[in-house]
Structure 1
Amino acid sequence: MQKYLVGGAVRDQLLGIAVKDKDWLVVGATPEQMLKAGFRQVGKDFPVFLHPKTNEEFALARTEKRSGSGHTGFICDFAPDVTVEQDLCRRDLTINAIALAEDGTLVDPYGGQQDLQNRVLRHVSEAFSEDPLRVFRVAQFYARFSDLGFTIAPETLNLMGKMTESGDLRSLSGERVLAELQKALNCPTPWPFFLALRQCGALKQWFPELDALFGVPQPQYYHPEVDTAVHVSMALAIACTEQLPEAVRFAVLCHDLGKGLTDPNDWPHHRGHERLGLAPINALSERLRVPKAWQKLALVVAEWHSHVHRIHDLSPETIMELLTALDVWRKPELGEQFMQACQCDYRGRSGFTNKAYQHIDLLRQLINATQQVDVQAVIADGFAGKAISEEVARRRLGVIQNLCSPT
């Protein structure tokens, strides 16, 4: 029985990146031997075991043969005579197909070290095309390592394009694609994920609402970067740099989807894009099965973000409508995340990256002031039933009017 450190742990160690999780490969063992040694078995498709003390994963060396569609349609052979080289051959990228033996020897039959040196993401073999999820994994790795200068090998990108054209990506579940999207959104620079998908055609299949933004112009006076997709990429970069919650990052990604649906005859203006963006957000959210909290925040950001940019010109009634839509009195965290997304939208423009967004100060002041309206005080004043909520709303509107009145 031999064990090897494999996968991301070896890759990151060679890149000088801190290793977070360790995965081990076991050659020459049977499930019975692993159980006898005290390991706990997990997984149904093939034997993976947890170390009795460290809880690290130990997987038996295996080969895979395609037996159906999708990323789960495989027959696995994990016989004791499967070699480390055979196991590495089934992996996605050469940089993930390097093993470290117990004596410190590197097993690298597919040139992973050379590709790490050259900063290239390259598929190990043609078997790559048997798993459609790998298209999204490559895109995700491209985002993760873009700051290190990695590129996707032309032959790998070409293969990803063929996989997309075949329609095999449609067999994936929304949950699986969402998992790769989440990893990308947690990268310092997530936009390469979408660029890679667009290069191979997968963006149009799974994110058509986002794909429609590329090349759509905006008024240069407000958006010196002009292209809507470029603006979204810049706003998303702000959200990631600030390490904002995933829900905010998703909302920023979706906030201008309506601009892909406005009348081209009106471009570069996008009148009504706020409400036009609601349908594509719902469609994308349902396709990816995103958390309902993400979807709700994305919808309210899309519909109301433009109002915040001109909050000093809004009527008290419209501000009241905005705060009601945000439900800031019951869910203050929604209001906070909304303001974070709006700030990313404001700063995600050429020349605005480091500018303070003062409109948020007034909005936060309005939220804090209206939160001071005491429902119990309204009840103590004799209001009952439906009249309670009406009086609370009237008092909140009064607070807004006082704060917004000219001095």
Structure 2
Amino acid sequence: MKVYLVGGAVRDKLLKRPIKECDYVVVGSTPAELISLGYQQVGNDFPVFLHPKTKDEYALARTERKSGQGYTGFICDFAPEVTLEEDLVRRDLTVNAMAEDENGNIIDPFNGQTDLANKLLRHVSDAFCEDPLRILRVARFAARYHYLGFTIAPETQQLMQQMVARGEINTLTKERIWLEIEKSLEDGAINVFTDVLAEINALPIILPALIDFWSQEYSCKLAELLSKTSGEQQKIVRFCLWLKDILPEQINSLSAHLRIPNTYSNALYLFNRFAPIFSKSAPCTQQVLDLLNTADVWRRPERLTLFLATFKLLGDSQSSLANNIELASEHALAINVQAIIQQGYKGAEIKQQLDIEREKAINDVFSN
């Protein structure tokens, strides 16, 4: 049997980018042989194995034949006679259809290196249109490599647009759509991902809440904001910036449409409810307390931290206000409930007095 490094690892190695994971194709072997060598089978639809030591994925070379709708309707053949080129031709883009042998030689039957040099994302064959998930993958790659100047080949973009017109993209599950969105948020250029969807008329299907205000101007302004993001929570911060003009009452339907995790949807609701108010004028004490209560800063201080980190990116005045809100929350958090109880307050009186003292703590910060 022969083993080849394939796909993204080869692509990113040639681009001198960090390699996140290594995938391998095995030619001329069988499941029984790999199992006898200590590999652990994990694939259900086709044999994928984990290396006994590195735990990297090793897949038997295979061909695919379309057998139904969507991205799951395929029949796979993984016989030992399947060649490397037959395996590579089923892949989405030429830059992902390269392999490297054990001696470091690049096998490139579809001119992926030429497309890398020309900064083009081009489909390998007409088999591309058999898998609608590739529409989102190409949009994600366009976003990931935008900083290098990559664009989608015109013929590939036209093919994607035709797939959307035929309704292929409607077969994608909410979970798979969200996964591609989250990966684009991690890469940092979610605006480019959205631009691609808009250009191929997929935005009304994937993100209908964006169609009323998305434009090239909006995308450029968002790109400027995104360039300032950093830190562990950057995906959620970018998510909030991306959808900052969605109305709070639209968030529930958007979350259901894409099955967005609560961490994201809660952060978006908090941001879209209070950021517009605080951006227009200096907030009153009650509005700040309302923010702290809605964020549940008393039990979940990280929610306010995330809001303030995002709010600061909107401008200098917002950054200054965020610092004051942070200080006010620290003073409000320092109020001791037990001390209030010891003063003789009981039942509902405790909550009333607690709010009074928290309001005073907030007002002290903003009145200085």
Q: Of residues 367, 381, 384 in structure 1, which corresponds to 2:329?
A: 367
Cα deviation, residue 127, structure 1? 0.6
2: CA distance between counterparts of 1:109 and 1:252? 41
User: Where does residue 271 of structure 1 map in the other structure?
Assistant: none
User: Where does residue 237 of structure 1 map in the other structure?
Assistant: 227
Cα deviation, residue 9, structure 1? 0.9
Cα deviation digits, residues 84-135 of structure 1 (max 9, x gap): 0000010000000011122333221111111111110000011101111100
Cα deviation, residue 399, structure 1? 1.7
Q: Residue 357 of structure 1 aligns to a residue in which SS?
A: helix
Cα deviation, residue 371, structure 1? 0.6
Q: Residue 45 of structure 1 aligns to a residue in which SS?
A: coil
Q: Residue 186 of structure 1 aligns to a residue in which SS?
A: helix
User: Where does residue 178 of structure 1 map in the other structure?
Assistant: 178
1: CA distance between counterparts of 2:174 and 2:71? 13
User: Where does residue 343 of structure 1 map in the other structure?
Assistant: 312
Q: Of residues 230, 237, 250 in structure 2, which corresponds to 1:280?
A: 250
| Structure 1 segment 102-181 matched on structure 2, within 5 A | 102-181=102-181
2: CA distance between counterparts of 1:367 and 1:71? 48
Cα deviation, residue 159, structure 1? 0.5
Q: 1:330 is matched by which residue type in structure 2?
A: R
1: CA distance between counterparts of 2:153 and 2:133? 18
Cα deviation, residue 255, structure 1? 1.4
CA contact (8 A) 2:188 2:238 kept: no
User: Where does residue 17 of structure 1 map in the other structure?
Assistant: 17
* Farther-moved stretch of structure 1 (244-253 vs 73-82): 244-253
User: Where does residue 249 of structure 1 map in the other structure?
Assistant: 238
**Would you say how many aligned residue pairs link Structure 1 and Structure 2?**
368
2:340 is aligned with 1:391: no
Q: 1:229 to 1:3 in 2, by over 3 A?
A: closer
| Structure 1 segment 32-51 matched on structure 2, within 5 A | 32-51=32-51
Q: Give unmatched runs, 5+ long, in structure 1.
A: 217-226, 258-276
User: Where does residue 208 of structure 1 map in the other structure?
Assistant: 208
CA contact (8 A) 2:195 2:219 kept: no
2: CA distance between counterparts of 1:256 and 1:343? 16
Q: 1:320 to 1:104 in 2, by over 3 A?
A: closer
1: CA distance between counterparts of 2:281 and 2:302? 20
CA contact (8 A) 1:251 1:297 kept: yes
| Structure 1 segment 89-100 matched on structure 2, within 5 A | 89-100=89-100
User: Where does residue 62 of structure 1 map in the other structure?
Assistant: 62
Q: 1:6 is matched by which residue type in structure 2?
A: V
CA contact (8 A) 2:71 2:133 kept: yes
2: CA distance between counterparts of 1:329 and 1:105? 59
User: Where does residue 79 of structure 1 map in the other structure?
Assistant: 79
CA contact (8 A) 1:308 1:360 kept: no
CA contact (8 A) 1:28 1:81 kept: yes
User: Where does residue 264 of structure 1 map in the other structure?
Assistant: none
Q: 1:36 to 1:2 in 2, by over 3 A?
A: same
Q: Give unmatched runs, 5+ long, in structure 2.
A: none
Q: Residue 129 of structure 2 aligns to a residue in which SS?
A: helix
CA RMSD for the aligned pairs? Answer: 1.8
Q: Residue 92 of structure 1 aligns to a residue in which SS?
A: coil
Cα deviation, residue 214, structure 1? 2.4
Cα deviation digits, residues 168-224 of structure 1 (max 9, x gap): 1111111111111111111143321111111111122111212321249xxxxxxxx
Cα deviation, residue 370, structure 1? 0.6
Which TM-score applies when normalising by structure 2?
0.95
Cα deviation, residue 333, structure 1? 0.5
2: CA distance between counterparts of 1:245 and 1:374? 33
Q: Residue 49 of structure 2 aligns to a residue in which SS?
A: strand
| Structure 1 segment 248-327 matched on structure 2, within 5 A | 248-257=237-246, 277-310=247-280, 312=282, 314-327=283-296
Q: 1:326 to 1:304 in 2, by over 3 A?
A: same
Cα deviation, residue 403, structure 1? 2.9
